[in-house]
Amino acid sequence: MDRVSSFDEPLKKLLGGATAKVMAEHLDLHTVGDLLHHYPRRYEERGKLTALADLPLDEHVTVVAQVADARILMFNNGRGKRLEVTLTDGSGRLQLVFFGHGVHKPHKELLPGRQAMFAGKVSVFNRKMQLAHPTYQLLDASDADEATEAVDAFAGRLLPIYPACKQLDSWRIAKAVDAVLPSAQDAVDPLPASLREGRGFTPLPEALLKVHRPQTKADIEDAKARLKWDEAFVLQVALARRRYADTQLPAVARRPVEGGLLDAFDAKLPFTLTEGQEKVSKEIFDDLATEHPMHRLLQGEVGSGKTMVALRAMLTVVDAGGQAAMLAPTEVLAQQHHRSITEMMGELAEGGMLGGSEQGTKVVLLTGSMGAAARRQALLDLVTGEAGIVIGTHALIEDKVQFHDLGLVVVDEQHRFGVEQRDALRSKGKQPPHLLVMTATPIPRTVAMTVFGDLETSVLDQLPAGRSPIASHVVPAKDKPHFLARAWERVREEVENGHQAYVVCPRIGDEAEEDGKSAKKAKKAAPDEDPEKRPPLAVLEVADELRKGALAGLSVEVLHGRMHPDEKDDVMRRFAAGDVDVLVATTVIEVGVNVPNATAMVIMDADRFGVSQLHQLRGRVGRGSAPGLCLLVSEAHEASPARARLSAVAATLDGFELSRIDLEQRREGDVLGQAQSGVRSSLRMLTVIDDEEVIAAAREEAVAIVAADPELEHLPELRTVLAALLDKEREEYLDKG
């Protein structure tokens, strides 16, 4: 068997169809190589028990513990029976519960004093942590064959605990790993020999053996150090090659023109730019003046004035005879940008029109739902060059759209701008256009080096003068219902003081009947079974309740993604004009909506949103001179990770601090996989937040190697591993820049 092919061997050949199917569907593991790179999450020492006191809620866990007691209880007048088992480990206790026919086997086997591995999802019932219907494997029974095998396999060793799923426990994954472990010898080593020896790394086959079956804790450290390096290095080489390829492309230099559109725009600005805006503008202008395409990431807090910086770059390009396109992820946002840019430019946005300025240009909007006549006119203005600036959704990339001379593309809030879209836009310029990617999600430096590693980065970290502070509070709706009543009173007070408010919900609420049925079913769940999971709160239902109840008499309107674009636009206009008191919306308002008079925001089921999303949403209030208020309503249990997340958001307005917290709370450190990608990340061992030094060092080595040998002709092993990492999907994914 040659060196690569044993790693590419499908798992079903070695493990049997059923196991391979579960691994493919639930863990995204398809080949021997995939399984060998599915590393243990942690290790337990035999005889040393897990800390039951620290188990995370709502997560699938594997614990090693001892049975303290077990008892059968009857309910439903003796018709139902339930087995309750209490586990202990010295640090705390954990309850297991089994129902119905599932009680017989555990009742016989889980006797006080027995030690076993248990796997299941942690929930809370009657204020106690529990695992309902966990799977388990005895570690000290001499009569059960499987148990003996388990003890033999793990005797005196560190027990690897694998990231598992409901259908496949950690110990079954461990067994499967045993079956493929001999293939570790065939691992292709991506590190150049000089680098490996220079840094004193363990050879790759040995690192794989040590990570899966360590004899000592030092084995684990050795293996981790090596495997982290591989991940960081291969990824950084991929990004370095992408950056190198970009520097080889030609582009038209776009230099500022004295007395042009930009100067006219700056002259009528009613405020001065912040130091940060000046500095970042200079970085962008320097890039635009070169003859290869700019690839820059502009990140800045909500409201730090990114749009202003982007607009000045667009005006520079128009001055230099080119056109600029701004791509927004949604129609609501495209319309919003178009409105705010035409307002900022005033008569400069009416070039060629009556009352327009002589230096002006036309600013057009292009979205999928425009009427035929308006669309035809917009397309005509682009192809003739009449329109210097176009703002739109991905409709801009369609074949029909032709530009006179596309010089700059600004991508707003699109974390995944794939290779196909980039090529489609490139083909619309006479030469590849310059590219500016904007995000309001603060990204720690290490993530910028990985997720956006093929872009140069500029950061806007000052807020413009005149922005007000935002007070944030968690409202525990379940424990303290009167807090929720007070939240609605606060909204009413804001409206009475002449302000407006947002209420954000996770769902729209006009989903198909099916959803309704499953919701009813959830409500009927027996009290002894898994505590009911109600569906997330919905815009339409919440708006209805508020109109009838807590906010009766106020003007309450809804906004969500399934409304007709004209209807959405109408609601936003009336809200911006102050005719609507309270807007109940989904996250369509997350990005770019700017209504300075809106001072309060209530986020329902706040625990169902991510940290950075909550931060984005909160940035919609406090945009004027009055202070903002953000209330995070949650029914999550006080001790849950969800509540800890909300408290972190309430405690700081610093987006960079929150993005660190967000990363630390994501398990497995799998950040790339989280970046709006349906693609499995290549990161298994590397945690982007903790391994800053590894990433920075790997980046340096990668840049040096690619500069010396761009095609990696002298490093065939590295080329092989890169090809495996950058299969088609991943290449597109890495290609956001």
At residue 415, does pLDDT exceed 60? no
Q: What angle do CA 276, 281, 284 make, to 5 degrees?
A: 130
Tokens representing residue 521 in the block: 């079913």
Tens-digit pLDDT profile for residues 287-315: 999 999 998 988 887 667 888 999 999 99
Q: Which residue has the higher pLDDT, 427 or 10?
A: 10
Kind plus residue range of the DSSP H or E element containing 312: helix 306-319
What was the pLDDT predicted at 54? 72
What was the pLDDT predicted at 350? 81
Are residues 722 and 238 in contact, defined by beta-carbon separation less than 8 angstroms?
yes
CA distance 645 to 663: 11
Tens-digit pLDDT profile for residues 113-143: 888 888 888 888 877 888 888 888 887 655 5
Kind plus residue range of the DSSP H or E element containing 726: none
What was the pLDDT predicted at 663? 65
Among residues 410, 135, 160, the alpha carbon closest in space to that of 294 is found at 410
Given pLDDT bands bounded at 50, 70 and 90, which one contains residue 420?
Answer: low
DSSP string across 70-98: EEEEEETTTTEEEEEEEEE-SS-EEEEEE
CA distance 213 to 279: 52
Are residues 574 and 506 in contact, defined by beta-carbon separation less than 8 angstroms?
no
What was the pLDDT predicted at 46? 60
Sheet holding 323-327, edge to edge: 362-366, 387-392, 323-327, 406-412, 434-439, 295-300, 456-460
What was the pLDDT predicted at 419? 54
CA distance 409 to 391: 10
Cβ atoms within 10 Å, residue 303: 17
Instruction: Count CA within 13 A, CB hemisphere, residue 416.
Output: 13
What was the pLDDT predicted at 440? 73
What was the pLDDT predicted at 226? 93
What was the pLDDT predicted at 520? 44
Across the range 43-63, mean pLDDT stands at: 71
Given pLDDT bands bounded at 50, 70 and 90, which one contains residue 737?
Answer: very low
Cβ atoms within 10 Å, residue 552: 10
Given pLDDT bands bounded at 50, 70 and 90, which one contains residue 525?
Answer: very low
SS3 content of the chain, % helix, strand, coil (to 5): 45, 20, 35
Tens-digit pLDDT profile for residues 432-454: 899 998 887 667 666 677 766 77
Across the range 340-368, mean pLDDT stands at: 82
Tens-digit pLDDT profile for residues 139-170: 765 555 555 555 455 444 678 888 888 788 88
Among residues 687, 731, 682, 691, the alpha carbon closest in space to that of 28 is found at 682
Q: Which long-range contacts (CB under 8 A, 24 or more apart) does 646-654 make?
A: 646/474, 646/606, 646/607, 646/614, 647/474, 648/611, 649/472, 649/611, 649/614, 649/615, 649/618, 650/472, 650/473, 650/474, 651/472, 653/469, 653/470, 653/472
What was the pLDDT predicted at 370? 86
Q: Which residue has the higher pLDDT, 204 or 536?
A: 204
CA distance 558 to 540: 7
Tokens representing residue 459 in the block: 């950061």
Given pLDDT bands bounded at 50, 70 and 90, which one contains residue 526?
Answer: very low
Q: How many residues does the chain have?
A: 737
Are residues 40 and 101 in contact, defined by beta-carbon separation less than 8 angstroms?
no
Q: Which residue has the tokens 């700059």?
A: 408
Pairing of strands 158-161, 42-45: antiparallel
Q: Which residue has the tokens 């021997």?
A: 32
Q: What are 23's strand-pairing partners?
A: none
Given pLDDT bands bounded at 50, 70 and 90, which one contains residue 407?
Answer: very high
Across the range 576-588, mean pLDDT stands at: 91
CA 647 to chain centre: 19
Among residues 485, 695, 727, the alpha carbon closest in space to that of 602 is found at 485
At residue 635, does pLDDT exceed 80? yes
Tens-digit pLDDT profile for residues 650-693: 988 877 777 777 766 654 334 443 333 323 345 666 666 567 78
Q: Tell me what percent of the residues of the chain surpass a pLDDT of 90.
A: 32
Pairing of strands 387-392, 362-366: parallel
What was the pLDDT predicted at 529? 35
Across the range 23-43, mean pLDDT stands at: 89
Q: Which amino acid is at 11?
A: L
CA distance 555 to 599: 16
At residue 531, does pLDDT exceed 60? no
Q: What are 435's strand-pairing partners?
A: 295, 409
What was the pLDDT predicted at 564? 84
CA distance 617 to 588: 10
Q: What is the mean pLDDT of the chain?
A: 81
Q: Which residue has the higher pLDDT, 183 or 527?
A: 183
